[in-house]
Structure 1
Amino acid sequence: MTPAEALAKVTTSQAGGLALAPDRFGRIFNLPAFADLQNGGPPSLQTALREMGKLGGVIDAKDPLQEGPIRLITNPELSPNNLDNSTHTAGTTFFGQFLDHDMTFDQTSPLGRPTAPEQSPNTRTPGLDLDSVYGQGPTGSPQLYNPADPDKFRLESGGLFEDLPRTSTGTAIISDPRNDENLIISGLQAAFLLFHNRVVDLLRSQGQTGSVFNAARQIVRWHYQWIIVHEFLPQVIGQPLVTELLTTGRRYYRPAAGQQFIPVEFQGAAYRFGHSMVRPSYRANLAGNADGTPFFGFIFDPAGQGQADPVDLRGGARARRRFIGWQTFFDFGDGNVRPNKRIDSKISSPLFQLPLSAISSGDPPISLPQRNLLRHMTWSIPSGQTIAQAMGISPLWAQEFPELQQFGHGLPSNTPLWYYVLKEAELMAGGQRLAGVGARIVGEVFIGLLQLDSASYLSTNPRWTPTLPRRSGPAGDFRMIDLLTFARVDPTSRGQ
């Protein structure tokens, strides 16, 4: 059998893309599910996955939360199962979450019950077009925009610095409610609103008259897409694979021209690698507390439930200290940046006790790893080993997964893709980035979405380079610190 014939057997009939429409999920691989899911699979399988992903289980990093949020940052040796990633800053996690919310939103498929992805709506546009920020624009989503200047977004304060616009009950008035799940993602949403507004100001200062909304939106989108290709993807999949995908093309995610869609191998498994990068706690800012001291908090803490100014970093609240000091999350050269956690098979303990407000359906389970694992049953996702073999990559076999032996169902050699991708990164790349199957799926989908979008810079003008001013360095590049500086939320602009 030739390589082309082998590939045809494992990719879908559209050579790497099967979806009924861009607003539906689809598949890349025509392969069996990781377990026998006929008639929904045996009840013991769901039980096994819940055990695997429970608080205190094999995936839990077992962080000593009793030490408090500050010591878990300043004394990383307290969490020997949850190592820092020296190649990422803490902001990589939340920029990745922001990207996820721009591409995909599954509000209907039930956890743990097999569902045809081709029948399941994706309520976000699959392109990297910032519809999670812009909604339907000033005409279709007027509640997002300034009534006195509809080219610009609404933005409010009520704290020391900016905040999202909110209703009287504290609900954020934004296109995607998930961008207020935690304080960092809501701060990033606010930064993009300010970024757009500053681009509007720039265009007007250059003499453009009338509505400049569409021109500003294109500038914002293209600079955002540049950051994805030139900063985010090299961090998470490595520059060599990014270069290969841009020069020699995609092998597996290959839908027909213009037919963007989100594959379940990406949405339900591989791209959820970011959950492993989340720290138990963060320093939200350097001087947010009333006495001018830094505000530290766990990403989620059950004690924060119902508090007007929660002790943790959940979203949905407004107070003086609830803003983000970006010097913690991106490297402004002042020595204040903090690292991510590694991409590995251990997840920070607070993610096993999510507040229901951080779950779009509002339903349990509240353990994020349990939800990820049950999603494999929902989408009948192939095992990591099966996809590795289809890609011609040497698989990780049972000897690499002794911790899964206790759960039965052949999981050590037929491993759910999400967990397999984490173990790949841990064993093949030291937890610094994705490797193997995970890197290939994530890279091909991101590059594919941009190449298949007729309005993206990579499709319209792949030789384009950024035009906005940088914080420092030569023109023709643009990074997250440049975006935050242009939006005037950087430490210098705030005097912090």
Structure 2
Amino acid sequence: MTEDNAVPRRGFLAGVGAGAAGLALSGHGTAYAAPASGGAPDTTFSRMFPSLPAFGANTNAMQAALLDIGRRGGPLDAADDLAAGPVALITDPAKSLNNPDNPTHTAGTTFLGQFLDHDMTFDAASRLGVATDPATSPNGRVPLFDLDSVYGGGPVTTPMFYDPADRAKFLVESGGLFEDLPRGSGGAAIIAEPRNDENMVISGLHAAFLLFHNRVVDWLRDRPEPPEEVFAAARRLVTRHYHWIILKEFLPQIVGQAVVDRILTAGRQFYKPNHAGMPVEFQGAAYRFGHSMVRPSYRANLAGDQGQPFFGFVFDPAGEGQADPVDLRGGTRAARRFIGWQTFFDFNDGQVKRNKRIDTRISTPLFTLPLGIIPGHTSPTSLAQRNLLRHLTWSMPSGQAIAAYMGTPVLGDAAFPELTAYNLKLQKNTPLWYYVLREAQLQQDGLRLGAVGGTIVAEVFLGLLELDPSSWLNQRPDWRPTLPSRVAGDFRMVDLLTFAGVDPASRGQ
């Protein structure tokens, strides 16, 4: 549920070249060994299916059709009963009849997915609906799960992110009941990835990662670790546990364990670059499936609102300009603006809430995004319209063409009856994002991605892990998590949040 931010992240590297002896500089300024398959990660976007034609012509009629499909009240709008309020939309399923819950996902899956997105891809330059060659468009993030979105350039290159009293640790502030991101006088977060302050949940997750790193530093010092090596050792340990969560928890949830096992065993068939890169079919379409999982409202915490739970729409126009908004937008600080993680991940206390299913129903608040999270603060404000226009930006192939190319079942015209009225053959040549959502709905009952979407997402995820020379998959395939956890040798998001000290038990809430 993110919009790419227009602030470039590579500016501080201007004029810095690659190191010698096979070393290269990533976008966060850290030298690493180039993958054995050759070369540093791509700095621009790429194509996963370069031989396939665009799904349709970039005409006025096509643009008008995509805008109509993605408008509020259009075929993608779940028509949630917003007048009922944020509490009723959680407690009364009748208020969201078109927007069913996913019993296999917790609400935190959405925001972990958003956090991962912000760590590997960042389209800072392309224009919606304007045809662009991916090879000429820079990716403002390193296409690896390297946590440059958290670490920036490290304490020497980007000291503003770190504690001046202890440079091995991040700067973390409060101001509410619990932790908050460090903020400037205007409320903007002082972090390496500004998009991680778009909403309260993603900003809370970023703060949890800051505290997780800081606790790892303390854990290593108790061992003890040589002082000059503590920061590097902590980052390595944090990243390894992060990769474990991606591979063992997040990816199986969204594509199914069988798909992960198949690709790990048989190898990637379609994402096969010589070095890590970011294909537009993933960035601009397939990975945006997460927008369908967003709830219209959330319980942010159990007792932060003057002792009562804080409920809010994910975005609400009424929150615009408020010092303590009624919704869950980020960019500000107040006592109640923190996350109670028992709502988002399962601590076995009966408090966890669920995601929405992956289908062609998008929660209604996402059709009116705050201008502040949109690059250039320009229309359209409908997230669905913006996603559909990106198919014209990147001249992406249709879902049907990719399914045929993969040799997987192709959804027929009958799967898209609502698209026939546009007289553009969209039921035969469906924009990939729309196709991936409908495919998940029909093939997997919305619980996980279908054949096309699951293959694209799983192959890119596994490829980025396999092409990362610092990944434990490459360095130590037999590695197992070493930090304290509920199950020895395993590590999940609830373990990360517990170790970071933001879990319900640590807070007494």
TM normalised by structure 2 equals 0.91
What is the total number of aligned residue pairs between the two structures? 472
Alignment pair present for 1:482 and 2:495: yes
Residue number in structure 2 paired with 1:24? 44
Q: Name the amino acid aligned to 2:48.
A: I
Residue number in structure 1 paired with 2:8? none
Equivalent-residue separation in structure 2 for 1:294 and 1:320 (angstroms): 12
Residue number in structure 1 paired with 2:384? 369
Residue number in structure 1 paired with 2:32? none
Contact 1:34 1:414 in 2 (8 A): no
Q: Name the amino acid aligned to 1:345.
A: T
Equivalent-residue separation in structure 2 for 1:388 and 1:374 (angstroms): 21
Residue number in structure 1 paired with 2:106? 89
Residue number in structure 2 paired with 1:301? 316
Contact 2:316 2:365 in 1 (8 A): yes
Equivalent-residue separation in structure 1 for 2:52 and 2:245 (angstroms): 36
Contact 1:34 1:415 in 2 (8 A): no
What is the CA distance between 1:485 and its match in structure 2?
0.1
Query: 1:253-402 residue pairs with structure 2 within 5 A?
Result: 253-256=271-274, 259-290=275-306, 292-402=307-417
Distance 1:492 1:392, change over 3 A: same
Alignment pair present for 1:413 and 2:431: no
Q: Name the amino acid aligned to 1:491.
A: P
Q: SS of the counterpart of 1:175?
A: coil
Equivalent-residue separation in structure 1 for 2:56 and 2:461 (angstroms): 30
What is the CA distance between 1:209 and its match in structure 2?
2.8
Q: SS of the counterpart of 1:286?
A: strand
Contact 1:109 1:120 in 2 (8 A): yes
Alignment pair present for 1:169 and 2:189: no
Equivalent-residue separation in structure 2 for 1:469 and 1:266 (angstroms): 34
Q: SS of the counterpart of 1:288?
A: strand
Q: Bigger CA drift: 406-415 or 343-352?
A: 406-415
Equivalent-residue separation in structure 2 for 1:494 and 1:20 (angstroms): 43
Residue number in structure 2 paired with 1:11? none
Q: SS of the counterpart of 1:240?
A: helix
Q: Name the amino acid aligned to 1:411.
A: L
Runs of 4+ with deviation above 4 angstroms: none
Residue number in structure 1 paired with 2:266? 248
Equivalent-residue separation in structure 2 for 1:360 and 1:36 (angstroms): 26
Equivalent-residue separation in structure 1 for 2:223 and 2:471 (angstroms): 24
Residue number in structure 2 paired with 1:61? 78
Alignment deviations for residues 319-376 of structure 1 (CA, whole Å, 9 cap, x no partner): 0000000000000000000000000000000000000112234222110000000000
Alignment pair present for 1:76 and 2:96: no
Residue number in structure 2 paired with 1:123? 140
Q: Name the amino acid aligned to 2:127.
A: P
Q: SS of the counterpart of 2:118?
A: helix
Q: Name the amino acid aligned to 2:43.
A: D
Q: Name the amino acid aligned to 2:284.
A: G
Query: 1:172-211 residue pairs with structure 2 within 5 A?
Result: 172-211=189-228
Q: Name the amino acid aligned to 2:504.
A: P
Alignment deviations for residues 444-474 of structure 1 (CA, whole Å, 9 cap, x no partner): 000000000101111211221101001x23x
Q: Which blocks of at least 5 consecutive residues in structure 1 are unaligned?
A: 1-16
Residue number in structure 2 paired with 1:223? 241
Q: SS of the counterpart of 2:104?
A: strand
TM normalised by structure 1 equals 0.94
1:159 is matched with which residue: 176, 192, 216?
A: 176
Q: Which blocks of at least 5 consecutive residues in structure 2 are unaligned?
A: 1-36
Alignment deviations for residues 37-61 of structure 1 (CA, whole Å, 9 cap, x no partner): 3xxx211111110000001100000
What is the CA distance between 1:170 and its match in structure 2?
0.2
What is the CA distance between 1:20 and its match in structure 2?
10
Q: Name the amino acid aligned to 1:387.
A: I
Equivalent-residue separation in structure 2 for 1:72 and 1:262 (angstroms): 36
Q: SS of the counterpart of 1:294?
A: strand
Equivalent-residue separation in structure 2 for 1:352 and 1:389 (angstroms): 32
Q: Name the amino acid aligned to 1:78.
A: K
Q: Name the amino acid aligned to 2:235.
A: R
What is the CA distance between 1:406 and its match in structure 2?
1.7
Q: SS of the counterpart of 2:172?
A: coil
Equivalent-residue separation in structure 2 for 1:376 and 1:272 (angstroms): 12
Residue number in structure 1 paired with 2:505? 492
Q: Bigger CA drift: 433-442 or 244-253?
A: 244-253
Q: Name the amino acid aligned to 2:425.
A: G
Contact 1:31 1:386 in 2 (8 A): no
Q: SS of the counterpart of 1:171?
A: coil
Q: SS of the counterpart of 1:165?
A: coil
Contact 2:56 2:429 in 1 (8 A): no
Q: Name the amino acid aligned to 1:296.
A: F
Equivalent-residue separation in structure 2 for 1:95 and 1:456 (angstroms): 19
CA RMSD of aligned residues (A): 1.4
What is the CA distance between 1:31 and its match in structure 2?
3.4
Residue number in structure 2 paired with 1:10? none
Contact 2:41 2:143 in 1 (8 A): no
Contact 2:105 2:253 in 1 (8 A): yes
Residue number in structure 1 paired with 2:34? none
Equivalent-residue separation in structure 1 for 2:453 and 2:55 (angstroms): 20
Alignment pair present for 1:108 and 2:131: no
Q: Name the amino acid aligned to 1:136.
A: G
Residue number in structure 2 paired with 1:44? 61
What is the CA distance between 1:21 and its match in structure 2?
5.9
